[in-house]
Amino acid sequence: MLAMNYRGPKRVRIDQKPIPEILHPEDAIVRVVRSCICGSDLHLYNGNVPDTRVGSTFGHEFVGIVEEIGSDVHKLKVGDKVIVPFNISCGRCAFCKQELYGNCHESNSQATAVGAIFGYSHTAGGYNGGQAEYVRVPYADVGPTIIPEGMDWDDAVLLTDVVPTGYQAAEMAGIQKGDTVVIFGAGPIGIMAARCSWLFGAGRVIIIDKEDYRLEFARNYSQCEAYNFMDMEDPVVFVKKTTDWMGADVCIDAVGAEAAGNVLQTITGRKLLLQAGSATALHWAINSVKKGGIVSIVGVYGPTDNLVPIGNVVNKGITIRANQASVKRLLPRLIDHVQNGIIKPKQLITHRVPLEEVADAYRMFSEKLDNCIKPVLIPPSAHE
C-alpha cells in the first residue's frame, strides 16, 4: 500500500509499505478514505517530538471503511464507514472509565505522560497513522464510531480531531454567559474553538494570530473579532485595553509548540530545542487573562519543560485546564451539532491533495502557502 514515510525533519515522502495486519483480537483494519494533516503533525514534521523514528507513518485524523476485523470485535462489521478518534483507548482502564479517553493506560507503553495517538511517534505509542491506504486500529469496539447516514467524508474526517478539540478547548474554559474569550491561534483548532465558545454562551470572542488570511477566515466562519499580533506593540496590553483593563475572562492557547512572536522563545524552543517548543502563546494567555480567570490549553507541547510565567498563575489565582481532546466522549454531541447545521466542519478544508503528493501538502500547510487552512489527503484507492 502507499503510505507517508518520515525521513527526518521537514522530509517526508510517499512509499510502498506492507498492508497492516490484525495483531490483537480487538483490532480492525480500516481502509482510509480521507486523512488530514494537523498542526500537531507539524511538531513531528519539524523533528521536535522525541522518539519520532525514521520510517514511521504519521496521521491521526482519518476516516474510512472497515476492511477486516479481529475475532473479538462485535460492534463493527466489514464495510462499515467509520470515524476513528485520534486517541487509542481501551475503554476499561481507570482513566477511560473517567471518560479521559485521551489518557488511556492500556495503549501506550512508551510514556505515562501521554496517551496513545495514531501516527504520533513512539512517545505516543509507536502506531502507524492514517496518511496511508490502510491502518491498524486497536480496540475497534471502543473508539471507531459509525458515520451516520447522510454525513459525508469531509465532515466526518474533521470529527476525528478538529471539531472535538476546538469544542473541548471552549468546554474546559468553563465559559459563563457573557464572558470575554481570547483565543491565541487561528489555525483549524483556534477557529473551531472560537466558533464553539459561542455555544457555551460567550459574550465576546476575540482571536489573535499573525496570518491575515486566517484571521479573515475566522472573522467570517467563527463570527468573532480577529486581530493580527504583528500589528501590536504588545498583545497582552492589547487584550488589557480592549477589556477595560481587566483582562479576558478566559484565554485559550490553540497554538502550542510552534508559536511565533517572541525571539527568545523561538530560538530556545524551536531552534535549539532547549525547551519543549516555544511557549509564546501560553505566556501571552497567562498574562492576558484576568485575575481568577481560566486558561484552557489545547496547544501541544513536548514532554520536557517550557518557559512560562508560572508565578503569575499563582499570584493571579488562575485556573489552568488542559488535555488531549477526549474525542469519543464528545462525538455524540458533536455529531448532533453537525447534523443540525450548528457546526459546519468541512468549510475549513481548503485543499484536497492526492496522498501521493504528501510532501508538498506538508510544506504548504507548514509554510502557510496558498492560504492553506486545512489540507485533506485522498488515497488513490478512495473512489468516493
Helix (H, G, I), strand (E, B) or coil at 308: coil
Nearest to 329 by CA among 167, 128, 217: 167
CB-based contact 252:298 (threshold 8 Å): yes
298 binds, among Zn ion, another protein, ligand NAD, none (CB under 5 to 8 A by kind): ligand NAD
Q: Categorise residue 8: left if φ over 0, alpha if ψ from -120 to 50, beta otherwise.
A: left
The piece of 12-20, 46-54, 209-217, 344-352 that touches ligand NAD (CB under 6 A) is 209-217
Name which position in 88, 182, 189, 282 contacts another protein (CB under 8 A).
88
Tell me if 268 contacts another protein by CB under 8 A.
no
Cβ-based nearer residue to ligand NAD, 17 or 368: 368
Q: What is the DSSP string of 239-257?
A: HHHHTTTS-EEEEEE---T
Selection from Zn ion, ligand NAD, another protein, none that 328 binds (CB < 5 to 8 A by kind) is none
Residues 191 and 207: beta-carbon distance below 8 Å = yes
Nearer to ligand NAD, 39 or 144 (CB): 39
As separate numbers, helices (DSSP H) first and strands (DSSP E) second, the chain gives 12, 17
Q: Which of 194, 188, 121, 124 is nearest to 161 (CA)?
A: 188
Closer CB to Zn ion, 158 or 206, in the complex: 158
Give yes or no for residue 242 binding another protein (CB under 8 A): yes
- Interaction between residue 209 and ligand NAD (CB under 6 A): yes
Q: Which does 303 bind (CB under 5 to 8 A by kind): ligand NAD, another protein, Zn ion, none?
A: another protein
Asked if 108 is part of the footprint of another protein (rule: CB under 8 A), the reply reads yes
Please tell me the distance from the alpha carbon of residue 102 to that of residue 107, in angstroms, as a whole number: 10
Using CB under 8 A as the binding rule, whether residue 127 contacts another protein is answered as: yes
The residues of the shown chain that bind ligand NAD, judged by CB under 6 A, are 38-40, 42-43, 161, 165, 184-190, 208-211, 214, 229, 254-256, 258-261, 280-281, 298-300, 324-325
